[in-house]
A and B are shown apart, each in its own frame.
Chain A
């Protein structure tokens, strides 16, 4: 059951990331670059 819900959720979230990516790029936000909140932040 969990897997059945997880697949569409992951798909939609990853596609939403493209919209958010455009927003961050257009608005010039750089906080995604150094985010401390994300558990899997870019380790730089």
Chain B
């Protein structure tokens, strides 16, 4: 039991602390800065959308206001069987150069991206989601990375904002900042093990059609670039903005999808698990696979600790118990926070 306990403990500490420390050392010893230079390649922005009538106009206006020459910018909205009239909003902007790749049937995001990519003509393709907003200089910053011939894909930085219009300080925001620090170090050494779906770019010739029902195109596409021998880098100068999730439970749904996608990725690109095929094998295993396995290590840590309660292990067990009691209390408080406004609204309606 002691062996199980210590193996679990070391594994968890490695994933959250040891791996970042290792990256910090490797960055100093073997850092490879990107030779970024500003130029103006032709760019296609590809955005997949399903039912986005309420948000798409803001995104279109955001894209049209980018600091990039209009004659070098192609904007393609891939519509995947919308039923709320999203297509009518997009049509309004056709005269301003917005192109639409419209499927009347709902096929999924990967099919939508594949279809939209057949229209793309830019040397560089930028992928984005509808919800987030680009910084005006985002495309210029992102494309500058492709002046380095080793760069095949570039991910921008997603900044989560809270209600004070500053970068979010909540725990979800804290987690995201930790994640970005890891990506910055990984990028400096070779490549990041995935991009930010809200803003990432790729050389068009490196795009391969996505298998249907791919859950995380923003990991699949960059990892294919890495397997093709190019770098996928992270550039914090290319910014996109989004509102931070109101509460951890709201972030949970997105996280489940992402992690389900990571499992799917291992079946779609099994060569990622081969050190002689994957140039960022250590990063991929430590970052992506490690995160998938940590929950099970947490369980074995708790269970093995329950069987050994002498000496230092008693302290460990107390700390673990306190941690999970606090987590349960946090859940209860979080539920109260979410339900409170609903109760007030019901009360006011009743009063009216």
Interface residues of A (CB under 8 A from B): 2-22, 24-26, 30, 32-35, 37-44
Contact = CB atoms under 8 A, between A and B. Distances in A.
A10 B295 contact: no
Contact of B253 (A3, A15, A41): A41
**Nearest 6 CB-CB pairs, A to B?**
A9-B330, A21-B259, A38-B253, A5-B330, A43-B131, A17-B255
12 contacts: A6-B330, A9-B326, A10-B330, A15-B294, A17-B255, A21-B260, A24-B257, A26-B263, A35-B257, A38-B254, A39-B250, A43-B55
Contacts of B263: 21-22, 25-26
Contacts, number: 135
A20 B296 CA distance: 12
Interface of B: 48-50, 52, 55, 80, 108-109, 129-132, 170-172, 175, 197, 213, 215, 245-246, 248-264, 291-292, 294-296, 298, 323-324, 326-331, 333-334
Nearest to A12: B327
Contacts of A14: 175, 248, 251-252, 255
A19 B260 CA distance: 9
A41 B254 contact: yes
B260 A40 contact: no
Contacts of A24: 256-257, 260
B264 A15 contact: no
Nearest to A4: B326
Contacts of B172: 10
- Count chain B CB atoms within 10 A of each CB in A2, A17, A22 and give the residue with the most: A17
Contacts of B331: 9, 13
B186 to A, nearest CB: 20
Contact of B49 (A16, A22, A44): A44
Contact of A11 (B52, B251, B327): B327
Contacts of B264: 25
A43 B129 contact: yes
B259 A6 contact: no
Contacts of B215: 33
- Count chain A CB atoms within 10 A of each CB in B171, B197, B291 and give the residue with the most: B171
Given A8-B330, A44-B109, A21 B257 contact: yes
A22 B292 contact: yes
Contacts of B252: 13-14, 16-17, 38
Nearest to A30: B213
Given A8-B323, A8-B324, A35 B253 contact: yes
A22 B299 CA distance: 16
Given A9-B248, A33-B215, A44-B130, 4 more contacts: A24-B260, A42-B197, A44-B80, A44-B109
Contacts of A22: 259-260, 263, 292
